[in-house]
């Protein structure tokens, strides 16, 4: 592969200069242009046809997500987002990943990071990884993003219709007597007998959305997600996954219990393991495979405890995290299968359903679904 042609889109003149200087120090990267807002970025992307775009989240005229939505329709390009570590920016960054961004890099100290060099190596690595993504993989990535956009658009229309209906009903009917209805009983929360561990990295948030929204409310297993993300971003990821699917989803905390039909997301900067009783433990051991949380840590800890009651699902990424964990799962007596993304949810459901009739000697469920 020749030089990677990069377009920088950031509303800060300082950031454009700092990023340009940082990237041009790399022998395999050429900065072909810099835009100050999303509208200008779209014009330059169409004119320059860069290999990768670094895209700021907050910009005037047209922000990062607005540009990204149009970019994927008009001039599909591999994008790495730059985001400050605020809760709101984490939410917007996850939306950008759903809309087609390949990856993101958190700015070290807010929207104007004069110390951007602290994440320089990470940014360069992610730009190289995005550029190295094959055209076939990029097409699949855009297809998932298109499905996510369709889902988000449908939900927005439904919400707007519900608001309009409520407004009309309020105008046409008398003010009702204030009565507080009884809260619906959620049913008992049962300690999980089976566990699904989902590991994902680059491209993972959009893939997770595609899987989680298709899982039933009565899955029959607990779900633990290990997604390579820093703090604040995993909090927003858990909230996002909980809003699009039927299973409650939250960020894991120490002494949480793995509960049937609920999802826990490993928090950024902590490895997630559990005791034999199913109590979650968050440990701040060194990074593994360069990441924390690492799926290998979770899977290698879970495999000898859960054995045949554990399903390992590896989604997408650029590195090797989860390889040794999957090996540990297989050594506990599990088999595997390779499935496309759109079949992962049904594969999980099939495994959970088969496990309910595990007493039948003729049935041997598949224990591990791996999507590549």
Measured CA to CA, the distance from residue 360 to residue 344 in angstroms comes to: 24
**Pairing assessment for the beta strands 195-200 and 337-338 based on DSSP bridges:** unpaired
Catalytic annotation, pick one of 201, 206, 209, 368: 201
* Six-digit token string for 364: 């041997």
Q: Helix, strand or coil for residue 323?
A: helix
Q: Active site includes 228? A: yes
Closest CA to 312 of 346, 342, 335, 289: 335
Q: Which neighbouring-strand residues pair with 282?
A: 272
Q: Active site includes 321? A: yes
Phi/psi for 5 (5° steps) reads -90, 120
From residue 53, give the alpha-carbon distance in Å to each of 10, 63, 81, 102, 360.
10, 14, 8, 10, 54
Packed helices 233-244 and 87-98: angle between N→C axes, nearest 10 degrees: 60
Catalytic annotation, pick one of 10, 296, 321, 368: 321
Q: Which neighbouring-strand residues pair with 197?
A: 224, 312
Q: Which neighbouring-strand residues pair with 169?
A: none
Catalytic annotation, pick one of 228, 256, 296, 368: 228
DSSP string, 186-243: -----B-SSEEEEEE-TTHHHHHHHHHTTS-TT-SSEEEEEE---TTHHHHHHHHHHH
Q: Active site includes 157? A: no
**Radius of gyration over every alpha carbon of the chain, rounded to an integer in angstroms:** 22
Return the active site residues. Answer: 201, 228, 321
């Amino acid at each position: 592969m020749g030089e990677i042609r990069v377009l920088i889109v950031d509303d800060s003149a300082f950031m454009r200069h700092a990023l340009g200087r940082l990237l041009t120090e790399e022998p395999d990267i050429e900065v072909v242009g810099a835009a100050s807002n999303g509208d200008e970025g779209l014009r330059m992307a169409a004119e320059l046809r860069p290999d990768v775009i670094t895209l700021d989240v907050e910009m005037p005229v047209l922000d990062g997500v607005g540009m990204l939505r149009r970019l994927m329709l008009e001039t599909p390009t591999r994008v790495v987002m730059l985001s400050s570590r605020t809760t709101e920016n984490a939410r917007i960054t996850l939306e950008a990943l759903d809309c087609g961004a390949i990856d993101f890099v958190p700015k070290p100290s807010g929207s104007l990071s004069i110390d951007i060099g602290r994440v320089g190596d990470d940014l360069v690595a992610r730009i190289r990884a995005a550029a190295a993504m094959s055209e076939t993989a990029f097409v699949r990535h855009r297809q998932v993003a298109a499905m996510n956009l369709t889902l988000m658009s449908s939900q927005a229309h439904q919400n707007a219709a519900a608001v309009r209906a409520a407004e009309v009903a309020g105008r046409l009917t008398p003010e009702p007597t204030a009565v507080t209805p009884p809260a619906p009983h959620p049913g008992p929360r049962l300690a999980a007998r089976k566990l699904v561990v989902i590991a994902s990295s680059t491209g993972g948030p959009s893939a997770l959305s595609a899987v989680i929204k298709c899982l039933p409310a009565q899955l029959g297993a607990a779900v633990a997600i290990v997604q390579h993300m820093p703090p604040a971003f995993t909090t927003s990821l858990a909230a996002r996954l909980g809003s699009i699917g039927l299973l409650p989803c939250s960020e894991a905390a120490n002494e949480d219990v793995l509960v049937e039909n609920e999802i826990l997301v490993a928090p950024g900067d902590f490895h997630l393991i559990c005791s034999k009783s199913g109590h979650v433990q968050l440990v701040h051991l060194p990074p593994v495979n360069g990441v924390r949380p690492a799926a290998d840590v979770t899977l290698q800890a879970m495999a000898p405890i859960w054995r045949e009651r554990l399903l390992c699902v590896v989604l997408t990424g650029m590195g090797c995290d989860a390889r040794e964990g999957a090996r540990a799962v297989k050594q506990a007596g599990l088999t595997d299968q390779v499935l496309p993304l759109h079949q992962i949810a049904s594969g999980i459901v099939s495994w959970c359903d088969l496990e309910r009739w595990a007493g039948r000697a003729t049935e041997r469920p598949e224990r591990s679904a791996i999507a590549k």
